[in-house]
Amino acid sequence: NIPHFNYVGDSIIDENCNLGAGTMVANLRFDDKSISVEVKNKKIDSQRRKMGCIMGNNTKTGINVTIYPGRIIGSSCYIYPGKVVDKNVPDNTVLR
């Protein structure tokens, strides 16, 4: 559910997610290099210039959340308003 003013570029969003108004998913690095994704504590070069986030099911963001490129947000997470997601978020996390 992405009904508000949001930007969700080049992302994979699973079912039953709700993004609060003003949630922005960055999909491009400032230095224009390819985006790395961290999987099992290893950085993997995606070889993609543009990549948003991967968000698991039943996850919700509050208003004005910013998500960095290549971040993985697990299932059943709650991200409080105004937070900056600069690291991956494991399943069942409340990010205050």
State the catalytic residues.
Answer: 4
* Residue whose tokens read 């993985």: 72
Buried b (16+ CB within 10 A) or exposed e, 53-92: bbbbebbbbbeebbbbbbbbbbbebebeeebebeebbeee
- Phi, psi angles (nearest 5°) of residue 25: -110, 110
